[in-house]
């Protein structure tokens, strides 16, 4: 018998191909945990979490709202998540503070409050015709019903002791009123708690237009911030969050808080450092920052201006040439100043030169070099001079840097 015939008659059993069976765990596990067992598991997990927090000293942020209602949620979704954002007490060198006081205004303008403005409008209303008052007036003063007055006075008692939770509906409705300043004055904003001030800032920032939000920042938020820093030498955490929230309307913030603070002429070193630290941590559009730099550069100088300018320079914006020229003109204005300028001035000039040395013209560079001969600092001036010498001016076409002769 041949080999082929033997293979055909072979009765040996062929091994079948092994089929792998993969079990789906979701098909086998059809059991569902009941509600009672789920509550026990969550309760045990919460107890273990509390034990870990007590053991390692981990603390949670206190929520300013229960978050149960989406429409009335008063908690902050953008609250900082680490302890670095707390505004801790700042130690100020007495010598630096005295040097800064030399550049403060001797007769700062009197800060007007919301009550003062309302009283002026009431006086006008008594002496002028109604039609004349209604033309060109931003602040509307109307006769308020006694029931409304009593209601908002009762809300004032809530705001004085407010710590967390929901605010009354009547208070949230204030931004929608035409005479919101007059209604707000009934609640006496100067007596609110810091947490209430933060919640009010959230509401008014979200519901007011930029022009009206500027009035709120200038008449209510700014005086409260300055008083808090003057009394406690630090800024309350809720007021810190209020400033951050106000930056959601950058134009209103600059016009209502930062620029009035610089124009007052009596901004302290502590106030400037705290405000600039918040500016440094927040993202601000370039056009708003450029407008603020332009306005600060055109103001009469005080030490706080240098701190704010340096903070805005460090954001490394691509500034228009008009703004750069205004800043150069600001520094060149000190050529006739015989006073010894503070270190803050030299630091802000160094930061400006480091960031925008290639955006100045050759004439401006030469003028700045001349300025460095008049006002010097034993550590900073050499660094400024080196940055200028190694820079390429914006009006150099051939790409070669200009070598300047130093007498």
Rounded Cα distance between 385 and 370, Å, is 10
> Among the listed ranges 71-80, 271-280, 310-319, 385-394, which one has the minimum average pLDDT value?
71-80
Listed in sequence order, the residues at least 6 apart from 311 whose beta carbon sits closer than 8 Å to its beta carbon are: 276, 279, 280
Q: Which of 3-17, 55-69, 189-203 has the highest mean pLDDT?
A: 189-203
- 349 pLDDT exceeds 60? yes
Token pair listed for 122? 């009431």
Token pair listed for 88? 């801790």
**Size (the chain), residues:** 407
Rounded Cα distance between 227 and 216, Å, is 16
pLDDT tens digits, 24-75:
544 444 556 677 788 888 888 888 877 776 665 544 443 334 444 444 444 4
pTM of the model: 0.68
Give backbone dihedrals phi and psi of 232, rounded to 5 degrees, phi first.
-110, -5
Angle (deg, nearest 10), helices 362-374 and 321-332? 30
Q: Are 117 and 139 in contact (CB under 8 A)?
A: yes
pLDDT tens digits, 293-345:
999 999 988 889 999 999 999 999 999 999 999 999 999 999 988 888 989 99
Supply the pLDDT for residue 112: 61
- CB 341: neighbour CB atoms within 10 A? 20
Token pair listed for 100? 């800064």
Rounded Cα distance between 226 and 239, Å, is 10
107 pLDDT tier (thresholds 50, 70, 90): low
């Amino acid at each position: 018998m041949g080999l082929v015939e033997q293979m055909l008659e072979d009765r040996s059993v062929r091994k079948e191909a092994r089929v792998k069976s993969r079990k789906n765990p979701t098909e086998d596990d059809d059991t569902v945990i009941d509600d009672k067992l789920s509550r026990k598991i969550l309760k045990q997990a919460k107890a273990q979490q509390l034990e870990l927090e007590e053991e390692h000293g981990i603390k949670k942020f206190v929520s300013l709202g229960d978050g149960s209602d989406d429409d009335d949620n008063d908690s902050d979704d953008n609250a900082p998540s680490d302890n670095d954002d707390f505004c801790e007490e700042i130690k100020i060198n007495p010598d630096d503070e005295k040097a800064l006081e030399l550049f403060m205004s001797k007769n700062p303008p009197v800060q007007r409050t919301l009550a003062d403005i309302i009283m002026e409008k009431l006086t006008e209303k008594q002496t002028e015709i109604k039609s004349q008052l209604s033309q060109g007036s931003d602040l509307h003063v109307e006769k308020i019903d006694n029931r409304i007055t009593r209601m908002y006075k009762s809300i004032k008692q809530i705001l004085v002791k407010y710590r967390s939770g929901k605010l009354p509906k009547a208070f949230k409705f204030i931004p929608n009123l035409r005479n919101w300043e007059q209604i707000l004055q009934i609640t006496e904003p100067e007596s609110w708690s810091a947490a209430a001030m933060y919640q009010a800032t959230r509401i008014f920032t979200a519901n007011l237009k930029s022009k009206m939000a500027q009035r709120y920042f200038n008449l209510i938020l700014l005086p409260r911030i300055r008083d808090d820093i003057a009394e406690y030498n630090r800024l309350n955490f809720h007021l810190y969050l209020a400033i951050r929230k106000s930056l959601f309307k950058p134009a209103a913030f600059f016009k209502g808080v930062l620029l009035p603070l610089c124009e007052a002429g009596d901004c302290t070193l502590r106030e400037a450092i705290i405000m600039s630290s918040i500016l440094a941590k927040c993202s601000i559009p370039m056009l708003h920052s450029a407008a603020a730099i332009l306005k600060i550069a055109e103001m009469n100088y005080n030490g706080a201006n240098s701190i704010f300018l340096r903070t805005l320079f460090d954001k490394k914006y691509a500034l228009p040439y008009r703004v750069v020229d205004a800043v150069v003109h600001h520094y060149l204005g000190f050529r006739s100043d015989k006073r010894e300028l503070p270190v803050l001035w030299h630091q802000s000039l160094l930061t400006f030169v480091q960031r925008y040395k290639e955006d100045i013209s050759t004439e401006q560079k030469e003028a700045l070099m001349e300025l460095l001969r008049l006002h010097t600092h034993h550590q900073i001036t050499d660094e400024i001079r080196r940055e200028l010498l190694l820079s390429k001016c914006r009006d150099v076409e051939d790409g070669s840097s200009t070598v300047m002769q130093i007498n």
